[in-house]
């Protein structure tokens, strides 16, 4: 019996990609997905091709060079495009890992202005909202010494907003997107320490100034497991 396994990792990194056009040439960031593929015969004793835990352990050294880093600083990676990044990772998988099949790298966000509906979440006290994504870099200069977030890195940020008239919110959201997307947030006035908390308040104030009616909440999501809810307090 033969099978293919896929072990997924997510890392948060900044980069500037001169091959991606004018907007991508400036410093920004993404949440990246890495699908590490293994294939081969299923071991008759264990019932697997390779232990998922072993795949994670073997990949940990490579992951440590990617997560919360600036990809432009990686050794031997000339331009941090997705194809080049995939090739860079392939070149760091040891030959003795005979189970290794391939690696695919993708970005979490849509990399364009796209508003979607976010349903109400009663447990968090959140009403129905509109959501869009930005691809941005940041560093947290006030983080404790040695904290990984003190280094320049990036995220595909999801930003939600709720107000009394969601249809009237669409144009202010597009203006907010244009202010934040494909930027280093530290370069924006008022965001010298761009934590999710500060970014959510900054976005609230921006939307208010743009005429968003009766704002109820702004949510900034850095990763699939971490988000900040701000209610104007």
Residues 150, 143: contact at Cβ < 8 Å?
Answer: yes
Contact 2, 10 (CB under 8 A): no
* Catalytic-role residue among 30, 68, 182, 198: 182
Please state, in angstroms and rounded to a whole number, the distance separating the CA atoms of residues 150 and 193: 10
Residue in 149, 151, 210, 216 annotated catalytic:
149
C-alpha dihedral (101, 83, 157, 140), degrees to nearest 10: 100
**Cβ distance 230 to 201 under 8 Å?**
yes
Say if residues 80 and 72 touch (Cβ distance below 8 Å): yes
For residue 147, what is the DSSP state?
-
Rounded CA-CA distance 124/144 in Å is 29
- Alpha-carbon distance of 150 to 225, in angstroms, equals 19
Position of tokens 């593929």?
Answer: 37
Q: In whole angstroms, what is the distance from residue 102 CA to residue 104 CA?
A: 7
Nearest to 185 by CA among 211, 209, 157: 157
Is 182 a catalytic site residue? yes
Name residue 116's beta-bridge partners.
131
d(CA 100, CA 102): 6
Known catalytic residue at 149: yes
**Residue 68 annotated among the catalytic residues of the structure:** no
* Catalytic choice (138, 153, 163, 222): 222
- The catalytic residue positions are 149, 182, 222
């Amino acid at each position: 019996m033969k099978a293919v396994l896929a072990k997924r990792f997510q890392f948060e990194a900044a980069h500037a990609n001169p091959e991606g056009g004018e907007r991508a040439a400036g410093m920004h960031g993404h949440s990246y997905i890495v699908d590490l593929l293994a294939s081969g015969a299923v071991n008759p004793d264990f019932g697997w091709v390779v232990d998922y835990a072993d795949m994670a352990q073997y990949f940990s050294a490579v992951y440590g060079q990617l997560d919360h880093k600036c990809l432009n600083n990686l050794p031997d990676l000339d331009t941090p495009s997705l194809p080049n990044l995939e090739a860079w990772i392939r070149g760091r998988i040891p030959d003795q890992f005979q189970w290794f099949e391939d690696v695919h790298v993708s970005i979490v966000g849509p990399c364009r202005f796209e508003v979607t509906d976010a349903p109400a979440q009663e447990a968090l006290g959140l009403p129905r909202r509109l959501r869009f994504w930005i691809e941005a870099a940041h560093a947290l200069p006030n983080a404790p010494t040695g904290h990984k977030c003190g280094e320049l890195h990036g995220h595909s940020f999801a930003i939600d907003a709720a107000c009394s008239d969601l249809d009237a919110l669409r144009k202010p959201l597009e203006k907010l997107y244009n202010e934040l997307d494909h930027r280093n947030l530290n370069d924006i006035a008022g965001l010298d320490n761009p934590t999710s908390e500060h970014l959510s308040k900054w976005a609230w104030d921006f939307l208010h100034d743009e005429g968003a009616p009766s704002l109820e909440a702004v949510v900034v999501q850095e990763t699939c497991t971490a988000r900040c809810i701000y209610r104007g307090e």
